[in-house]
A and B are shown apart, each in its own frame.
Chain A
Amino acid sequence: MNYQYSIGCSLTNLKGIRDFIRTSLKGHGVPEVEVSAIVLALDEMCSNLMIHAHHCNPDHLLELHIEADNGRTFVFEIIDDGELFDINSFQTPGLDNLVHEKRKGGLGIRLVKSIMDSVEYFNKNGKNICRLTKTVQ
């Protein structure tokens, strides 16, 4: 099964993204705790893209694809045509640094990398594709 969702780059739309992922994963036997982690990782990626690549412009669209037909492996793609925002090019900040610098950001990248098995970026037909994969138990 494949699922698709398209939404404007406004942070108030993050809830819609979370609901879409929860609804799509329903019926695929993914344990609740894994669903919550996946929802969190996608929320983090989408909010990063909305803020850093699209400056929260609601007229810019993110497209989400979920591929759920590879057994226990799920493929999530976030497609956009903004500036490339590759979290692999960012260093994951240490928790100590975040505490000392009183920074409110930087944790999202740690979360995405901890939750997902892989995060890849590539360009296809002029679009940026961020592909996240996760194999669940």
Chain B
Amino acid sequence: MVHIKRLQEEGADIIAVIGEIDASSSIELDLAIAKSVGEGFRKILVDCSALEYISSAGLGVFMSYIEEFKDKNVTMVLFGMKEKVMNTFTILGLADLLHIRNDRQEAKQLANELSV
């Protein structure tokens, strides 16, 4: 079960992911990101501070946008991940393919730097 909230701050779309993302709920994350891209946001920050669990279905959603974001000059930064969630990204070596920061401030800063 996952809840997704979106809010906009300083031109960035912040997607807060609350709860657990598995094969039954990853579609909601996918829809939220697709909506953000569709609305023309170039800076997408994913707030993972209330994300308790993610399986490969959720990781696959993030992975599937990497190429599209390169083409469209969209920057996505994930932040606030708990250690147990971060561990899932690390096992697969995804931490090197995605932009991940500790907190919102660092995430905003990186998004600003990368979207110049």
Within 8 A of B (CB), among A20-51: 32-33, 36-37, 39-40, 43-44, 47, 50-51
CA distance A37 to B57 in the complex (A): 15
CB distance from B42 to the nearest CB of A (A): 19
Interface of B is mostly: helix
Return chain B residues, CB-CB under 8 Å to A104.
26, 30, 57, 60-61, 63-64
Residues from chain A with a CB closer than 8 A to the CB of B97 are 95, 99
Tier of interface size on chain B:
20 to 34
Q: Are A37 and B60 in contact (CB-based, < 8 A)?
A: no
Q: Mark B46-81, 1 if CB is under 8 A from A, else 0.
A: 000000010111011101111110000000000000
Q: Number of A interface residues, CB 8 Å?
A: 31
**Chain B 1-28 residues near chain A, CB threshold 8 A:** 1, 20, 22-24, 26
Cβ of A6 under 8 Å from chain B? no
- Cβ of B116 within 8 Å of any chain A Cβ, yes or no, is no
A126–B87 Cα gap in the complex (Å)? 37
Give the distance in Å from the alpha carbon of A43 to the alpha carbon of B52 in the complex.
14
Q: Is the CB of B60 within 8 A of A103?
A: yes
Least CB distance, B97 to chain A, in whole angstroms? 7
A14 in contact (CB, < 8 A): yes
Contact of B92 among A12, A32, A33, A111 (CB under 8 A): A111
Tell me the total A-B contact number using a CB cutoff of 8 A.
Answer: 87
Q: Is B36 an interface residue (CB 8 A)?
A: no
Q: Taking the complex as formed, is A11 at the interface, i.e. its CB lies under 8 A from any CB of chain B?
A: yes
**Cβ-defined contact, A102 with B87, below 8 A:** no
> Would B23 and A107 count as touching, CB distance under 8 A?
no
Question: Does any Cβ of B come within 8 Å of A115's Cβ?
Answer: yes
A12–B56 Cα distance when bound, in Å, is 16
Given contacts A47-B55, A108-B55, contact A14 B22 (CB under 8 A): yes
* Least Cβ–Cβ distance between A14 and chain B, in angstroms: 5
Q: Is the CB of A51 within 8 A of B23?
A: yes
Closest 7 CB pairs of A and B: A104-B60, A11-B24, A107-B56, A108-B56, A47-B23, A36-B84, A102-B64
